[in-house]
Structure 1
Amino acid sequence: MISLLSLKDFAVVSAAELAFGPGMTVVSGETGAGKSLLVDALMWLTGARADAGIVRHGAERAELAAEFGLADAPAALAWLRENEMDDGSDCQLRRVIRADGGSKAWINGRPATLAQLSELGALLVEIHGQHEHQALLDRGQQLALLDAFGRHDPLLAEVREHARRWAELDRELGDLARAGDVGERVAWLQHQVDELARENLDPADLDQLQAAHRRQANAAGLLQGCESALARLAGDDGLSLSRALHQVSADLARLSSDEPRLAEVVALLESADIQLAEAGAGLERIRDDFDLDPTRLQQLEDRLARLHELARKHRLPIEGLAGRRDALQAELEGLADASGRAERLGRERQQAAADWAAAAAKLSKSRATAAAKLGQAVAALMAELGMGGGVFSVLLDPQDSTRPLPQGAERCEFQVSANPGQPPRPLRKVASGGELARISLAIEVAALGLDAVPTMVFDEVDTGIGGAVAEVVGQKLRALGAERQVLCVTHLPQVAAQGHHHFQVSKAVAGASTHSAVTPLDDKARVEELARMLGGVEITREVRANAKQMLSRAQAG
Structure 2
Amino acid sequence: MLLSLSIRDVVLIEKLDIAFRAGLSVLTGETGAGKSILLDSLGLALGARADSGLVRKGASQLSVTAEFDLPPNHPVRAILDEQGIEAEDMLVVRRTVGTDGRSRAWVNDQAASIGLLRRIGEELVEIHGQFDAHGMMDSATHGPVLDAFGGLNEDVAALRGAFRAWRESRDRREQAEAELARARLEEESLRFALDELETLDPKPGEEEELAERRSVMMHGEKLLEGMNAAFAALTQKGDVEGSLRSAMRALERIADKAEGRLESVIAALDRAAVEAAEATNLLEKASSEIDLDPRHLEQVEERLFALRSCARKHGTDVDSLPLLRDDLARQLRALEGGGEDIARLRREEQAAREAYLEAARALSRARTKAAKDLDKAVNGELKPLKLDKADFRTRVESLDESQWGETGLDRVAFEVSTNPGAPHGPLGKIASGGELSRFMLALKVVLARVGHAGTMVFDEVDSGIGGATAAAVGERLARLATDLQVLVVTHSPQVAALGSHHWRVAKAEVEKGKVVTRIEALSDDERREEVARMLAGAQITDEARAAAASLMVRM
Q: Structure 1-normalised TM-score?
A: 0.82
Distance 1:237 1:177, change over 3 A: same
Distance 1:283 1:2 in 2: 97
Alpha-carbon contact 2:135-2:141 (below 8 Å) kept: yes
Residue 92 of structure 2: SS of its match in structure 1? Answer: strand
Give the superposition deviation at 1:374: 0.5
Alpha-carbon contact 1:387-1:419 (below 8 Å) kept: no
Residue 406 of structure 1: SS of its match in structure 2? Answer: coil
1:285 corresponds to which residue? 282
Distance 1:408 1:335 in 2: 37
Alpha-carbon contact 1:457-1:487 (below 8 Å) kept: yes
Alpha-carbon contact 1:186-1:336 (below 8 Å) kept: no
Deviates more, 1:155-164 or 1:267-276: 267-276
Alpha-carbon contact 1:137-1:427 (below 8 Å) kept: yes
Alpha-carbon contact 2:504-2:520 (below 8 Å) kept: yes
1:103 corresponds to which residue? 103
Distance 1:26 1:347, change over 3 A: same
Residue 101 of structure 1: SS of its match in structure 2? Answer: coil
Distance 2:481 2:28 in 1: 17
AA paired with 2:452?
A
**How do residues 446-457 of structure 1 correspond to structure 2 at under 5 angstroms?**
446-457=446-457
Distance 1:378 1:302, change over 3 A: same
Structure 1 residues 18-74: Cα deviation after superposition (integer angstroms, max 9, x where no partner): 333333332222211111223222323333333222222233322233233321662
Structure 1 residues 62-102: Cα deviation after superposition (integer angstroms, max 9, x where no partner): 22332333216622211222233344344333332232333
1:530 corresponds to which residue? 531
Does 2:11 correspond to 1:14? Answer: no
2:496 corresponds to which residue? 496
2:79 corresponds to which residue? 79
Deviates more, 1:229-238 or 1:387-396: 229-238
Distance 1:410 1:384 in 2: 32
Number of aligned residue pairs: give it. Answer: 546
Distance 1:66 1:38 in 2: 12
Distance 1:2 1:232 in 2: 102
2:189 corresponds to which residue? 188
Distance 1:54 1:202, change over 3 A: farther
1:477 corresponds to which residue? 477
AA paired with 2:533?
R
AA paired with 2:473?
V
1:516 corresponds to which residue? 517
Give the superposition deviation at 1:495: 2.2
AA paired with 2:51?
D
Give the superposition deviation at 1:436: 0.8
Give the superposition deviation at 1:518: 3.0
AA paired with 1:184?
L
**How do residues 217-296 of structure 1 correspond to structure 2 at under 5 angstroms?**
274=271, 278=275, 281=278, 285=282, 288-289=285-286, 291-293=289-291, 294=293
Give the superposition deviation at 1:141: 0.9
Distance 1:435 1:418 in 2: 9
Alpha-carbon contact 2:173-2:349 (below 8 Å) kept: no
Give the superposition deviation at 1:169: 4.3
Alpha-carbon contact 2:416-2:431 (below 8 Å) kept: no
Distance 1:420 1:190 in 2: 76
Distance 1:132 1:279 in 2: 104
Distance 1:214 1:68, change over 3 A: farther
Unaligned segments of structure 2, at least 5 residues: none
Give the superposition deviation at 1:394: 1.3
Alpha-carbon contact 2:180-2:335 (below 8 Å) kept: no
Structure 1 residues 496-529: Cα deviation after superposition (integer angstroms, max 9, x where no partner): 3333333332222343333212333444443443
Give the % identical residues. 36
Distance 2:457 2:202 in 1: 70
1:43 corresponds to which residue? 43
Distance 1:337 1:232, change over 3 A: same
Does 2:135 correspond to 1:138? Answer: no
Distance 1:171 1:281, change over 3 A: same
Give the superposition deviation at 1:338: 4.3
Distance 1:231 1:21 in 2: 109
Distance 2:315 2:349 in 1: 39
Give the superposition deviation at 1:373: 0.7
**How do residues 150-165 of structure 1 correspond to structure 2 at under 5 angstroms?**
150-165=150-165
Structure 1 residues 442-478: Cα deviation after superposition (integer angstroms, max 9, x where no partner): 1111122121222222222121222233233223223
AA paired with 2:537?
G
Distance 2:95 2:536 in 1: 39
2:460 corresponds to which residue? 460
Unaligned segments of structure 1, at least 5 residues: none
Give the superposition deviation at 1:145: 0.7
Alpha-carbon contact 1:155-1:362 (below 8 Å) kept: no
AA paired with 1:532?
R
**How do residues 54-453 of structure 1 correspond to structure 2 at under 5 angstroms?**
54-71=54-71, 74-172=74-172, 174=174, 176=177, 182-196=183-197, 274=271, 278=275, 281=278, 285=282, 288-289=285-286, 291-293=289-291, 294=293, 298-319=298-319, 321=321, 324=324, 328=328, 331-402=331-402, 404-419=404-419, 422-453=422-453
Distance 2:35 2:146 in 1: 33
AA paired with 2:282?
R
Distance 1:343 1:541, change over 3 A: same
Alpha-carbon contact 2:414-2:426 (below 8 Å) kept: yes
